[in-house]
């Protein structure tokens, strides 16, 4: 394993329920809309990746009575831009901490000279704010490739965002390992042929992770062991470099 590719939402931090969803609702309120995405409804809306695409899905499937404006894409883009401001503010205020083990694993990988990348559906500004606040101003530069949002034509579950990373870093799928959290994310990374480790969360714990090499409840830490749902943990109690190397070797 030469490259470690991180998903963002649900993997680096548990951002959906108390982050993105709350920011969407604030943006709707500001726009004078009576839309309110409850945690349960939002769980359904997460079937669709991409914030703009999710608003459209909501209008098409859940709020069909809403009179769509002529310039619907502009309307959605404005709502989404406002949402992104709220979301990045929450990140800067430290309201969305990293998941257990993320900081340790990233520091381990950097110390070992593993090349790092990000492959996410979320907007680039969200990654910058998360990394700057959770790590350091220059943290984004630790990642050789940051592939985000609309940079590819098709979002997860399509493999496009992972293909983009492989091409930019000039590596093969077998030289990489991906860390993901969701059904759509898993389909995207394994669709690109990349061995994948899943750390599920509250919204994705019942997802189908067929094809993933290892499925655990978190990366964990030496003093906070993970729980293995499926896959070989080689006796490890948390996801560290030596475990990832063994998984990568086994996938060759
Ligand atoms: C998950 C997504 C994102 C976020 C919202 O991304 O589907 O769209 O829910 O972010 P990831 P935006 O691939 O990191 O799991 O509103 O910026 O799209
Ligand atoms: Mg995710």
Three-state SS string over the chain comes to CCEEEECCECCCECCHHHHHHHHHHHHHHHCCCCCCCCHHHHHHHCCCCCHHHHHHHHHHHCCCCCCCCCCHHHHHHHHHHHHHHHHHHHHHCCCCCECCCHHHHHHHHHHCCCEEEEECCCCHHHHHHHHHHHCCCCHHHHEEEEECHHHCCCCCCCCHHHHHHHHHHCCCHHHEEEEECCHHHHHHHHHCCCCEEEECCCCCCCCCCCCCCEEECCCCECCECCCEEEECCCCCCCCCHHHHHHHHHHHC
pLDDT computed for residue 69 by the predictor: 97
Please work out whether the CB of residue 207 comes within 6 Å of at least one atom of ligand 1: no
Residues 175 and 115 sit within 8 Å (Cβ to Cβ) = no
CA of 51 to the centre of ligand 1 (A): 6
Residue 151 burial by CB count (10 A; 0-12/13-18/19+): exposed, middle or buried?
middle
What pLDDT, on a 0 to 100 scale, did the predictor assign at position 227? 98
User: Could you tell me if the CB of 193 is within 6 A of ligand 1?
Assistant: no
121 ligand 1 Cβ < 6 A:
yes
Q: Which of 5, 8, 49, 125 to mutate to test the pocket of ligand 1 (most atoms within 8 A of CB)?
A: 49
Task: Compute the residue count for the chain.
Answer: 252
Q: Measured from the CB, is residue 240 less than 6 Å from ligand 1? A: no
Supply the pLDDT for residue 63.
98
Q: Residue written as tokens 């898993």?
A: 186
Peptide bond into 107 cis (omega under 30): no
Ligand 1 centroid to residue 101 C-alpha, Å: 21
- Name the closest ligand to CA 155: 1
Q: Which of 13, 43, 122 to mutate to test the pocket of ligand 1 (most atoms within 8 A of CB)?
A: 122
Question: Distance of CA 64 to CAs 45, 55, 68, 160, Å?
Answer: 14, 12, 9, 31
Q: What is the pLDDT of residue 85?
A: 98
Residue ranges in the chain whose pLDDT is less than 70 = none
By annotation, the residues acting in catalysis are: 7, 9
Is residue 133 in contact with ligand 1, taking CB distance under 6 Å? Answer: no
Ligand with an atom nearest the CA of residue 127: 1
**For ligand 1, mutation pick of 76, 96, 121 (most atoms within 8 Å of CB):** 121
For ligand 2, a single-atom ion, which residues have Cβ within 5 Å?
7, 9-10, 181-182, 185
Q: How far is the CA of 15 from the centre of ligand 1 (A)?
A: 9
Q: Which atom of ligand 1 is nearest to the CA of 180?
A: 15
d(CA 180, CA 11): 6
Q: Helix 241-251 vs helix 102-111: angle between axes, to the nearest 10 degrees?
A: 70
Say what the pLDDT of residue 98 is: 97
Q: Residue 115: what pLDDT?
A: 98
* Residue 15 CB–ligand 1 contact under 6 Å: no
Q: Which two tokens stand for residue 4?
A: 């470690």
Q: What is the pLDDT of residue 127?
A: 98
């Amino acid at each position: 394993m030469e490259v470690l590719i991180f998903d963002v939402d649900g993997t680096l931090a548990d951002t959906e329920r108390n982050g993105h969803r709350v920011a969407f609702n604030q943006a709707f309120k500001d726009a004078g809309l009576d839309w309110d995405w409850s945690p349960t409804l939002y769980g359904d809306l997460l079937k669709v990746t991409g914030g703009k695409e999710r608003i459209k899905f909501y209008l098409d499937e859940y709020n069909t009575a809403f009179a769509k404006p002529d310039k619907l894409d502009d309307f959605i883009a404005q709502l989404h831009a406002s949402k992104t401001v709220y979301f990045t503010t929450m990140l800067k205020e430290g309201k969305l901490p990293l998941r257990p083990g993320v900081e340790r694993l990233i520091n381990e990988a950097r110390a070992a000279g593993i090349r790092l990348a990000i492959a996410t559906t979320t907007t680039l500004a969200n990654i910058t704010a998360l990394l700057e606040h959770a790590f350091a101003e220059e943290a984004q530069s630790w990642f050789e490739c940051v592939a985000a949002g609309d940079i590819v034509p098709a979002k997860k579950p399509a493999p496009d965002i992972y293909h983009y990373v492989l091409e930019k870093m000039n590596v093969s799928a077998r030289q990489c390992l991906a860390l993901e959290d969701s059904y759509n994310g898993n389909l995207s990374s394994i669709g690109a042929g990349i061995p994948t480790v899943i750390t599920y969360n509250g919204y994705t714990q019942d997802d189908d992770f067929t094809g993933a090499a290892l499925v655990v409840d978190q990366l964990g830490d030496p003093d906070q062991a993970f729980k293995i749902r499926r896959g070989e943990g080689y006796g490890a109690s948390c996801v560290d470099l030596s475990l990832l190397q063994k998984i990568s070797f086994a996938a060759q």
